[in-house]
Structure 1
Amino acid sequence: MTDSTVQTIVKQLLDGQLSRRGFGKALMALGFSTAAADSLGNMVSDSSTTTTAPEPLPRSGKVVEGTGADILIETLLAADVEYIFATTATGMSALFDALALRPQIKFVLALQEGQAAAMAHGYELASGKTAALFLPGVAVPNAMNNLYNAWKDRSAIAVFSDAQATTYRGRNQFQQMDDWLEPMKQFTKWAWEIHHIERVSEFTRRALKMANTPPGGPVHIRYPRNVLDVGGQKQTVYPQSLFRVDVNLPPKQDLIEQTAQMLLAANKPFINVGHEVTRAGAVNDVIELAEMLGAPVSQGYSVYGDFPFNHKLFAGFYGPGAPRGVFSSDVFLNLGSEMPSWGIIAPPPPKKAKIIHARVEYGDIGNIHPTDLAIAGGMKEIIVAIKDTLRTLISEQELAAIAQPRLEKEEGKFNRRKEKRWQKAQPDWNASPMSWDRVGHELEQQLEQDAIIVSELNNRTPLKWLNFAQDKKRLIGQTTGFALGWGVGAAMGVKVAEPDKQVVCLLGDGGFLFGQSETLWMAARHEIPITIVIFDNEAYDGERERIYQFSPLAKDKQRRHLWKDISCYLGDPPVDFVKLSESFGVEAEQVIQPDDMAKALGRAKKANRDGRAYLIAAKIMQQGKGANENWHPGISIADKREKKV
């Protein structure tokens, strides 16, 4: 061992070429003890964090010289972008050069573009910051599945891609087609290709601004090679803060007064909430408003849990399905959510009810159902204004006189439902394969109080056992795009945004097999310590139920017995998720007996604390129509051979 060898390893740590764990392993390979390696690692880390933070850009900006890629990356730095989610591409050579010279931005590598998009999506959902996603131009179609999900969730993602040099456009040659932007226009707020290198900073700023301005959404910019690569450029880069637009404006006061009067006059007011409530940080305000009125609250169509599921006023989910008590309501207040309709497998609110619809995304108001009051503005501003106006119209004592009997009634219903849920779960509590209820219960008992749950489950049963509330657990997912292949990548993006929170991904075996196995490589490569729980019942349960529901054959009482599940059984061949996970360097185990679930979650927690991801393959019951039949079409191409080759 020489001093120069140690110096090389230290330099690799400082340059980001070695992780902290890799640094320790390298030193121990040279003969250092674990304690000595940790001590030296702490010294190096402390010294690396004492550098002076960069001065904020002045209002007049700064002049940047270099390639188009240098200017692009400097523009992102001016917008405080910390992470880039990306895959590799030869067309990004200049971008990689620019990033290598600016280690302030961390390059998070994915093996597949769709999972890079899922990571960017999860990062935005958890942080509220615009995510930067870099894709090879030719690989944009591969990312569309999860970019569609991001579009449905109104997630602010700036999508940057390379492109063939403009010199060769129109020849239908290497990685070319007539229009690469057109496929992305269906689920982006804006799509553009830069033709003039002198406008790189301008258009990059615009992409960030448009993605982030509510309602958010993906924005796509293509940079041809002759825009990225050419050096000798000089452009002014400005602070991104000078280009932000605040649309969370106060609502019209006369509309708020009408709303308050309608709510006070109602016998059975009802509130439905959506993602704009969480994005505005207004969940506690909704809780207070609901308690002021004693009004039940349903969870609308949303990627978040926008109201605590274990609150006594929680009435259930409005889409798919309908919540309890909505059809007896006489005033329906829809806050930050799409209006329920059959298009999201939900019946509309009752015709007799007066409809009040409040959104930031005001273009969504009044598109389907008649609306008595349409309120545009910031969601927090609207909810706070309603609360304040209620207090000006009547006294606290009068409000309490209205709300208290309703609260007591709803609390009684809540306690009865809770007891009924417990009793209903008992027959299968110790069953193997495990029940969905038992796994949900064990998750609540074992996970951190403030864990973030990223769910790609079609079945809501486990979520009903979890304590989602302020300063408690937080729910992200299922995405309102409902396109499979999202959950693990999104959970890793959430962990990047919230490194100090336990992050647990819940998904089915079908969802994991939908192009997500390579995410395990990403978790190991970047040391992203999440827990992945696969609900393995060897079937697409939810899909099978919906197929049965819409089947003309199943609706025919005379021929219903002929119905068979053609496409949803996944148990042949059986998948060994443990071996699959371990092949990527992620520790895993299978759980079959319910008493073993708590121990497995404990081992997962320890692995996460040590900086490692962990996978649990939990054997779960099949549910619904066609469950456990496990028939599938017998197709063998091998049997059709006349020649055994």
Structure 2
Amino acid sequence: MKNKETTGQAIARSLVENGVDTVFGIPGAHMYDFNDALYEKRNEIRFIHTRHEQGAGYMAYGYAKSTGRIGAYTVVPGPGVLNSGAALCTAYGANSPVLCLTGNIMSHLIGQGRGQLHELPDQLATMRGITKVAERIDHQSQTGTVMAEVIGKMLSGRQGPGAVEAPWDVFGMTGPELDLPETRRAEDPQVNPDNIQAAAAILANAKNPLIMVGGGAVDAGAEVAELAKALNAPITSHRSGKGVVSDDHPNYLNFVAAFDYWKDTDVLIGIGSRLELEFMRWKWLPKGLKVIRIDIDPTEMVRLKPDVGIVADAKAGTAALSEALGTTGSAPRTKEFAELNRNAKQRFSAVQPQVDYLNAIREALPRDGFFVEEISQMGFTARFAFPVYGPRQYVTCGYQDNLGFGFNTALGVKVGNPDKAVVSVSGDGGFMFGVQELATAVQHNIAVVAIVFNNNAYGNVLRDQKQAYSGRYIGSDLTNPDFVKLGESFGVKTYRVTSPDGLKLAVSEALQLNVPVLIEVPIEKGSEASPWPFIHPTPPAG
């Protein structure tokens, strides 16, 4: 005879079966039976409780984005779900498998509008609007099936976040121990050989092809490098694609250098990329440009229609294209690419003080360390001025560009990569969105080095109001705490440095301590050079 188990216990068991070893979150009344089930699984699942639901969501995102594994978190329904909604938006935009586990009001009251604790008019619809998949467990017997369905869809094709809710009374519902169905990912689409041949025919006549990689190519770095070698083509990336091919690979072009090359590009090959850089940031297409796309998501071929669309996993599609091409036999162009990079670096070195500070961080951070950007003057500049040497090592929020994600996300990155160095950069504005999670870092000894560049402003807003609105400032000035005293009050080792050399020394020392560290870098308000001319370059005349 089978043992009895609750819905909460079945969910916890399903998490273990699907390789989840960490859950972030905050306990709450609707979730007590699930929280208790996590306690029972404490030898298999680490529970990291946070000080805000948004922090839990972002930590799960950082875990997922940096490891490729499921990042799970649990919050109460209603306000808990909404507080974590920004993190789900980020996971959706950046194609990361983040799983939200939440509750709902009593099952017989859902949809009645009775004003129950944490009630939303239609929570499931709300979650479906910001996830790839969201489902409800209405009865204990459904638990295994729902969990397998949601996780399977999250991990299939173009990955994304998922959510599972259960009503308050269902979490504690008892039934026979369930046979958990195997989670099945949908099969990847098969490479269409006709499309490969059509792409190869275009490339046979290409003089200046350019390869653009995005986050969808994160596991295809070797294949992308092989394709670049076959074509004698450069590779570039914007945010999520950073590190897919190392910055010091001879075929890699920094995207500032890539814009110089772009003016003569005749074939663009997008691999696992939305091609935002070329079509939305650069806003100018070379005459006669042909576009080839390799993407696992067929809707990308409709959203931005290419001349040839190869619907396939990036690894398989890129390998098939390389095989069809063979080798060109032409002379390598790596000296040309190196010169483009040198010229670009010389130009963007004028973006100060950001570039010097970023260079200091790069020198102190091990080659395999993780760098977590933030919506800030340093974060924007890092997109073109911070070299990255491996996939997943540059953690970005993707197109959501949501202020305040950085530090909290970095905590999740460190939990997922405990043996690697993790540094986050934030402005004072963004850091204060999640400053309370310093307490989480201390309590769980999450050894992130958090660097706060303090210019007492929302720097981008301040610059825009100065330049475009004649200095009519509203809401851009900030009054901040003493960050050193603030950090120390949490029990965090804290530094204040005022130069790139000082920052390099502080980061190097902080990484040796293996404890949470806060470093404040005061910056004169409004003094930063704008990075935007390099992110939104001016199209050529004529």
After TM superposition, the score normalised by the length of structure 1 is: 0.76
How big is each residue's C-alpha offset from its partner over 1:148-173, in whole Å with a ceiling of 9 and x where there is no partner?
A: 11110111122110112113331223
Task: Call closer, same or farther: CA 1:590–1:468 in 2, change over 3 Å.
Answer: same
* 2:230 corresponds to: 292
Match in the other structure for 1:499: 418
Unaligned runs of 5+ in 1: 1-61, 429-434, 555-561, 626-645
Aligned to 1:483: 402
Check conservation: 1:330, 1:354, Cα contact below 8 A. Answer: yes
1:239 Cα deviation from its structure 2 partner = 5.8
Between the aligned partners of 1:595 and 1:382, the Cα distance in structure 2 is: 45
- Quick one: which of 164, 167, 170 aligns to 1:221? 164
The answer to whether the 8 Å contact 2:196/2:324 transfers is yes
CA contact 1:162–1:224 (8 Å) conserved in 2: yes
Q: 1:289 to 1:579 in 2, by over 3 A?
A: same
Letter of the 2:402 counterpart: A
State the alpha-carbon separation in 2 of the partners of residues 341 and 448 from structure 1.
28
What SS class does the counterpart of residue 138 from structure 2 fall into? coil
Superposed displacement of residue 63, structure 1: 5.5
Gaps of 5+ in 2: 531-542
| Structure 2 CA distance for aligned equivalents of residues 421 and 342 of structure 1 | 19
1:313-324 to 2 correspondence within 5 Å?
Answer: 313-317=251-255, 323-324=259-260
The RMSD of aligned alpha carbons is 2.6
- The 1:131–1:311 alpha-carbon spacing in structure 2 relative to 1, beyond 3 Å, is same
Q: Is contact 2:240–2:395 with CA below 8 Å preserved after alignment?
A: no
Q: Percent identity?
A: 25
Secondary structure at the counterpart of residue 480 of structure 1: helix
Following superposition, the deviation at residue 317 of structure 1 comes to 3.6
Task: Report the Cα distance in structure 2 between the residues aligned to 1:342 and 1:296, rounded to whole angstroms.
Answer: 15
Q: 1:605 aligns to what?
A: 511
Which residue number corresponds to residue 87 of structure 2?
Answer: 146
Counterpart position of 1:240: 182
Paired letter, 1:339: L
Deviation at 1:381, TM superposition (A): 0.6
Distance in 2 between residues matched to 1:240 and 1:127, nearest whole Å: 22
Deviation track 1:525-569 (CA, whole Å, cap 9, x = no partner) reads 1111111111222222234445567x4xx5xxxxxxx44332322
Higher relative contact order (CA 8 A, sep 6+): 2
How big is the shift at 1:478? 4.1
**How many angstroms does 1:438 deviate by?**
1.8
Distance 1:63 1:268 in 2: 66
Deviations 1:416-449 (A, max 9, x none): 4445556x47xx7xxxxxx212211211222222
- Distance in 2 of aligned mates of 1:348 and 1:542: 24
Which amino acid in structure 2 is aligned with residue 380 of structure 1?
K
Question: CA separation of 1:311/1:575 partners in 2, compared to 1, >3 Å: closer, same or farther?
Answer: farther
Q: Aligned residue for 2:25?
A: 86
Tell me the amino acid that sits aligned with residue 371 of structure 1.
P
Aligned with 1:118 (options 58, 66, 83): 58
* Match of residue 308 from structure 1: 246
The separation in 2 between residues aligned to 1:175 and 1:130, in whole angstroms, is: 26
Q: Which residue does the alignment assign to 2:381?
A: 461
Higher-Rg member (1/2) = 1
Aligned mates of 1:101, 1:342 — CA distance in 2 = 51
* Equivalent in the alignment of 1:540: 458
1:518 aligns with 2:459: no
1:287-366 pair list within 5 angstroms: 287-300=225-238, 302=240, 304-317=242-255, 323-340=259-276, 344-347=280-283, 349-366=285-302
Q: How much has 1:199 moved relative to structure 2?
A: 0.8
Q: Tell me, in whole angstroms, the C-alpha distance in 2 between the residues paired with 1:463 and 1:344.
A: 16
Report the counterpart of residue 530 of structure 1 in structure 2. 448
Deviation at 1:274, TM superposition (A): 0.7
Do the aligned residues in 2 keep the contact of 1:340 with 1:348 (CA within 8 Å)? Answer: no
Q: Would you say the 8 A contact 2:136–2:146 is kept in 1?
A: no
User: Aligned pair count?
Assistant: 522
Matches within 5 A, 1:171-250: 171-231=114-174, 233-238=175-180, 240-241=182-183, 243-247=184-188, 249-250=189-190
Q: 1:615 to 1:341 in 2, by over 3 A?
A: closer
- Label 1:130 to 1:387 Cα distance change in 2 as closer, same or farther (>3 A): same
Cα deviation, residue 217, structure 1: 1.3
State the partner residue of 1:52. none
> Are 2:307 and 1:372 equivalent residues in the alignment?
yes
Q: What residue is the counterpart of 2:535 in the other structure?
A: none
Please tell me the residue identity of whatever aligns with 1:69.
Answer: G
Equivalent pair of 1:298/1:323 in contact (CA under 8 Å): no
| Corresponding residue SS for 2:299 | helix
